[in-house]
Amino acid sequence: MSETGHDGTMPDNVVVVLLDSLNRHMVGAYGGTEFATPNLDRFAARSQRFTNHVTGSLPCMPARHDILCGALDFLWKPWGSIELWEESITAALRRSGVTTMLVSDHPHLFETGGENYHTDFGGWDYVRGHEGDPWRTTIDPSAIGSPSLPAARDGGWFLRERFGVDGDRFGRRHYDDARTWFRSEDDLPGPATMRSATDWIRREAPAHERWMLFVDEFDPHEPFDTTEPWASMYDDPDDPWGDDPRLIWPPYTVGGVTTGALTPRQARHIRANYGAKLSMIDHHFGRLLDQLDTDDLWDTTAVIVCTDHGHYLGDERTAGRAGEEQRHDIWGKPMVPQFEPLGHTPLMIHWPGADAGTCDALTTNVDLNATIADAFGVTMQHRTHGRSMAPLLDGTATSIREWAIGGVFGNWVQVTDGRHKYARAPVDENFPMSMWSNRWSTMPVSGVGVADFASFPKPDRRAQLDFMPGSEVPVIRQPFEPGDTIPFWAGGANAIGQHHLYDVVDDPDEAENRCGERTESEMIDLLRTALADVEAPSDQLARLGL
């Protein structure tokens, strides 16, 4: 143990396990009973279980930017790489002599818009074949007639049925080819990632004095594809799915069942397939825990289990254009506020020397960056927004922040004080809006024919050079105006005037929107305070009517 902590000690090593789209309310340690998570529960028993951890920047890569760079970026851009004015925590660790290793099957880390997050790790292992990874260009002909995975509909099934799209390949994803090349459960990207991480702890970690292992595991993110016994583990016993092709690709929609886009049977089946994926990756996570046991690392190693966000699986909330709101079942990550199933996330931290228990302090993902930096005694060289959780873990503090903000670029901006959550929508129109970046990119969209619908305009002659808070590096700031094509994800025009305010302590299902009450003015003031603290662009305040 290093002699630099708040109570005199800090861990020598850190393991971060990020499980993408991990739903807090479905983990046993958080009260979930629908699906089995014995190893996450086993880990919780020796950890601090955080009950008030919330998302910041969204979706996938912005959340990883929060964790690895420590700075919220959703107010400035929708998605993207590490910029010239900032660095990853791994760059700071490298300067301090800490060995870092990345093991991941997350395709966004190795494509445009996420291509330089791995480069400052001391080593990295990219496990191929998940979701949109262009690993294979065709199905494995030798697999025909002897499939190792149950038959499944491809990634375009919902779009073709919902919108009547012609062509049996529209929306097909890279994974639909890749899955034919897997011969056993151990070949699937999730299990293979956990095996690689476990092998690194066993074979290579002992060679290093101090180290950080970052396991960026894309499971239980879709496709919800598993082998038996997982595949049918949660099928409805009164109406089993049988031999019909399984629905491993969930829709991203508001009102799946309520609009008739999904049948109740399909909805139950998709939710069960998420549970199968969750239980499968939980099983393989257990092998990593076994290795930590075998090597007796718990006294010297902090272990963090976290996620980027949750995933809606038919959770009911009120949504719709202003004046047309109604209760709907929500699926995936459509353009709605970060309701509790997606935005209230699990976080468990084992901290050497700290007792297991529960922490109710408000925290968010940028705080993970500050905690890792604190553990290794390093300082980031750019403006960051996180606060170390080490004082919470060692018992020297009971709170580290009074508010947390988050959202998706060009959509709602949310603030919470731990009890009330306020999502502020744009007013009048979703402008002014500007994107700030020197690495012009957004989320690449895979799927046959689908990319044509994902807009991403280039900078034009209206662009100006500006500066990010605390930086002397010029940055391209591209303004957008009504009538412009705007970046993919910036769909706030459909949210105009739809403010949401909930008391998530007394109303965790968010059934009563309390906008119009006195609390709303208090939360507006808190949002102004938060935006001023992070030096948000003036465009954002104008867009939100603040």
Asked whether residue 4 carries a pLDDT value surpassing 70, the answer given is no
What angle separates helix 189-203 from helix 264-294, to the nearest 10 degrees?
10
Q: How many CB atoms lie within 10 A of CB 287?
A: 15
Asked whether residue 451 carries a pLDDT value surpassing 70, the answer given is no
Give the pLDDT score at 264. Answer: 97
Whether the Cβ atoms of residue 13 and residue 365 lie closer than 8 Å to each other: no
Residues in the chain, overall count: 546
Nearest to 20 by CA among 109, 112, 89, 82: 109
Give the pLDDT score at 489. Answer: 80
Give the single-character DSSP code of 25.
Answer: G
Whether the Cβ atoms of residue 233 and residue 283 lie closer than 8 Å to each other: no
Pure H helices in 168-263: 174-178, 189-203
Q: What are the structure tokens assigned to 112, written together?
A: 């445009």
Q: What is the DSSP string of 268-327?
A: HHHHHHHHHHHHHHHHHHHHHHHHHHHTT-TTTEEEEEE-S---EEEEEEEESSTT--EE
Q: How many helices (H) and strands (E) does the chain have?
A: 12, 20
Whether the Cβ atoms of residue 382 and residue 470 lie closer than 8 Å to each other: yes
Tell me how far CA of residue 289 lies from CA of 195, 196, 285, in angstroms: 11, 13, 7
> Which amino acid is residue 170, in one-letter code?
F
Give the single-character DSSP code of 438.
Answer: S
Q: How many CB atoms lie within 10 A of CB 516?
A: 10
Tell me how far CA of residue 362 lies from CA of 72, 100, 169, 372, 504, in angstroms: 16, 28, 45, 18, 13
d(CA 109, CA 116): 7
Give the pLDDT score at 84. Answer: 95
Hey, where are the domains in the chain?
A: 13-404, 409-544
158-184 pLDDT, tens digit per residue, is 999 988 888 888 889 999 999 999 999
Q: Report how far Cα 173 is from the mean position of its chain's Cα atoms.
A: 20
Give the residue carrying structure tokens 């919108």: 163
pLDDT tier for residue 147 given thresholds of 50, 70 and 90: low
Q: Percentage of the chain with pLDDT > 70?
A: 96
Give the pLDDT score at 6. Answer: 47
Residue 235, SS3? coil
d(CA 228, CA 354): 39
* Omega of the bond leading into 223 within 30 degrees of 0 (cis): yes
Give the single-character DSSP code of 125.
Answer: E
What angle separates helix 366-376 from helix 60-69, to the nearest 10 degrees?
30
Give the pLDDT score at 432. Answer: 95
Question: What is the pairing mode between strands 48-54 and 363-364?
Answer: parallel
> What stretch of H or E contains 42?
helix 38-44
d(CA 215, CA 328): 35
Range in 28-42, 203-217, 442-456 with the lowest mean pLDDT = 442-456
Structural Rg of the chain based on CA atoms:
22
47-83 pLDDT, tens digit per residue, is 999 999 999 999 999 999 999 999 999 999 999 999 9
Whether the Cβ atoms of residue 14 and residue 301 lie closer than 8 Å to each other: yes
Sign of CA dihedral 411, 363, 438, 469: positive
Nearest to 219 by CA among 433, 453, 21: 21
pLDDT tier for residue 141 given thresholds of 50, 70 and 90: confident
Tell me how far CA of residue 455 lies from CA of 58, 78, 332, 486, in angstroms: 18, 12, 20, 7
> What stretch of H or E contains 476?
strand 474-480
d(CA 495, CA 531): 20
Q: What are the structure tokens assigned to 108, written together?
A: 């966004």
342-385 pLDDT, tens digit per residue, is 999 999 999 999 999 999 999 999 999 999 999 999 999 999 99
The CATH code that applies to domain 13-404 is 3.40.720.10
Asked whether residue 3 carries a pLDDT value surpassing 50, the answer given is no
Mean pLDDT of the residues in the chain: 94
Q: What is the mean pLDDT of residues 6-13?
A: 77
Asked whether residue 145 carries a pLDDT value surpassing 70, the answer given is no
